[in-house]
Structure 1
């Protein structure tokens, strides 16, 4: 995996202090910690309903000492912001091409020589959507890694890491259980998030 702001010596220490202070001043509470067995894992990022989710996610990642990478549409990686987005942990995804993103992501996680957490929003968009995409699930299954149920709740100003979820291979039952867990959280634009 490429070097990011989270793996740049000195910078990551300074930004962790800044993130903790900023979240505290803004009234947010950071909960949970990353268990050792999840140093390589797939993160669900939900609810994802606002552009504000990215900065809050980055602040929380520093506070929790994570090594996150996230997927974003290719348009945000264009000049002049492409280098910055990659340094923030971004991986461009071209949604117009039918390439095997699941296999490529799983392989990248398996061969990474250090801790790496791949953050994937199951809705795939900030807009309202009824169906969750299952890419995060199949990446975890293929890479044989746990799923971390990460959350952000705007009304209560909570951000953190929930329990680990080990996929069984029964995608319908597993997705139903995951969605039940997320029913307790609300995004910034709560009408755009569904856990049904």
Structure 2
């Protein structure tokens, strides 16, 4: 993986300090910590209902001292912002092409030197959707790493890391358990998030 803002020492320290200050002034609390066994992991990013989710997610990542990469639609990686988005940990996803994103993502996690957390929004969009995509599940299962249930609740101004989840292979039952965890959380545009 390429160098990102999270692996640039002086910039990382400055961004962490700024993130701590901004979140405190804005009334947000960051909860939880990343266990040692989840240094390489897949993060669920939910609820994902607003463009504001990205800057808040990055600030929370700085506060928790994470090394995150996140998936975003290819259009935000076009000139002139592509280089900046990749430096912020972004990985371009072209939803119009069929490709083996699961295998490539799992391989990147397995081959990473040191810690790497891959953030995947299960809704796959900020728009209202009833069905969650299961790519995050298959990436974690293929890479044999845990899923970290990360959350952001705008109604209570809390964000953080929930429990680890290890895929059992029973996708239907596992998705029910995962969605049950997310049911109480409210996104910025709460009506667009459905975890049932």
Partner Cα separation in structure 1 for residue 79 and residue 165 of structure 2: 37
Q: What is aligned with 2:6?
A: 6
Partner Cα separation in structure 2 for residue 9 and residue 70 of structure 1: 20
Partner Cα separation in structure 2 for residue 29 and residue 100 of structure 1: 37
Shift of 1:110: 0.2
Partner Cα separation in structure 1 for residue 186 and residue 155 of structure 2: 7
Question: Normalization by structure 2: what TM-score?
Answer: 0.99
Q: What is aligned with 1:75?
A: 75
Q: What is aligned with 1:121?
A: 121
Shift of 1:114: 1.2
Q: What is aligned with 1:148?
A: 148
Q: What is aligned with 1:20?
A: 20
SS in 2 for 1:91: strand
SS in 2 for 1:132: coil
Shift of 1:157: 0.1
**Count of equivalent residues:** 196
SS in 1 for 2:60: helix
Shift of 1:9: 1.4
Structure 1 residue ranges (4+ consecutive) displaced by more than 6 angstroms after TM superposition: none
Question: For 1:124-149, what per-residue CA distance to the aligned partner results, in whole angstroms no more than 9, with x for missing partners?
Answer: 00000000000000000000000000
Shift of 1:23: 0.2
SS in 2 for 1:33: coil
Question: Normalization by structure 1: what TM-score?
Answer: 0.99
Q: What is aligned with 1:194?
A: 194
**Unpaired stretches in structure 2, ≥5 consecutive residues:** none
Q: Check if 1:65 corresponds to 2:65.
A: yes
Shift of 1:72: 0.5
**Unpaired stretches in structure 1, ≥5 consecutive residues:** none
Q: What is aligned with 1:183?
A: 183
Shift of 1:167: 0.5
Q: What is aligned with 2:158?
A: 158
Partner Cα separation in structure 1 for residue 77 and residue 163 of structure 2: 32
Q: What is aligned with 1:171?
A: 171
SS in 2 for 1:6: helix
**Counterparts in 2 of 1:103-118, with a 5 A limit?**
103-118=103-118
Question: For 1:4-47, what per-residue CA distance to the aligned partner results, in whole angstroms no more than 9, with x for missing partners?
Answer: 00100111011101100000000000000000000000000000
SS in 2 for 1:45: strand
